[in-house]
Amino acid sequence: MKKLSFLPILFVISSLCNAQDTTGLIAHWNMNGTSNDVSGHGHNGTQSNLTPAVGKDGVMGHAYYFNGTNSVITVPYSPDFNIPNVFTFCTTVMVEGFYTGTCQMNMLFTRGGTSGGSSMGNYYMFFNDKANTADDCSTIDSTQETFHASCAGIVPINEAAYGYTPAIVKNQWYSLVIVFNDTSYKTYVNGVLMNTAIVTTPGMSVGTSTDSVSIGYNVFEAASGFPYAFNGRIDDIQFFNRVLTTAEIDSYTTSTLAVNDITLNQNEIAIYPNPATNELNIATTALLHGAMTITIADVMGREFIKTQCTNETTRIDVSTLNPGVYFACIYCDNQVVTRRFVKQ
């Protein structure tokens, strides 16, 4: 593999250098050949019917494939799972199929299942089409699937409040962050706030229980016909008992969008201005020992611009892009550094 030797960087975008604070981190399952909790808190899982898979970084064994039938990770009860009225889920996930059983839910993470009233200690992260098919447990529209989270008894105003576009596309990696702040559920997909679902009754207690945690499958209601088995790959799950800041959400998104940044250093590439109007500058201040390619893509991965990097500063015309959030991806060999920017 070609290496890059960098001169000292002239400028660094400080907001992209913020490390994610582990305060309030309950558990972190990185799926790198194990279902153990790598946070050090001991919430290790027991896996069943999982297959090691290629992760977001392109490395075999850095994710697990869930088969959509009986793949599951179970984690024993801990009092740490009795959380306050706020939480954050972070996950890196690829959907490869949609559950078509009754009520069409696809379970990524659940503590205590989906049924029950308030103060039951139940909460879960999932995706389904219910925002667009109302409360119809029989009809499925797989073109309208979106990511959500919920607590039993602390629900949004209606199912439609969960909806957003564009919907989930199969076989595409997503960096997903879902925040519950006692008044609403906020869903961030690839760093973009896609949805804010206001709850009907703010201030309700999440509650407590002695239930365990289940990943990729609803063990709590499977016997009743609601296993909600997930079909796809999970690369990473982090679970916090607090609300992450916007900077922390950006940090998680940036770190999980990069394919491989071991030798192509994230902190040695900068972009400006951000937001950009007509022109975007990408600076490496690097001695180039291999071809570098830059692409500009939107949050769905659709590529709009592709160019070669031939100087320490590359200027890219972005005047024709529609306003919105985009990603500049700088490639060298099998590596890429991803930078998020806004086009005004």
Same fold, 5-15+259-343 and 21-243: no
E strands within 162-225?
173-180, 184-189, 192-198, 213-215
The domain locations on the chain are: 5-15+259-343, 21-243
Q: Is 276 exposed, middle or buried (0-12, 13-18, 19+ CB in 10 A)?
A: buried
What is the C-alpha to C-alpha distance for residues 130 and 145, in angstroms, rounded to an integer?
8
State in words which class domain 21-243 has. Answer: mainly beta
pLDDT tens per residue, range 252-298: 887 765 443 334 455 567 788 999 999 999 887 554 444 578 889 88
The residue that leads in pLDDT, 45 or 18, is 45
Looking at residue 17, what is its pLDDT? 31
pLDDT tens per residue, range 194-210: 989 998 888 888 889 99
Looking at residue 335, what is its pLDDT? 62
pLDDT tens per residue, range 33-43: 999 999 999 99
Q: Which of 229, 257, 96, 93 is nearest to 170 (CA)?
A: 96
Fold category of 5-15+259-343 in CATH: Immunoglobulin-like (2.60.40)
Question: What is the four-CA torsion angle of 111, 115, 120, 123, rounded to 10 degrees?
Answer: 40
The residue that leads in pLDDT, 115 or 250, is 250
- Under 8 Å between Cβ of 270 and 15: no
Q: Check whether 217 has a pLDDT greater than 50.
A: yes
Residue 161, helix vs strand vs coil? helix
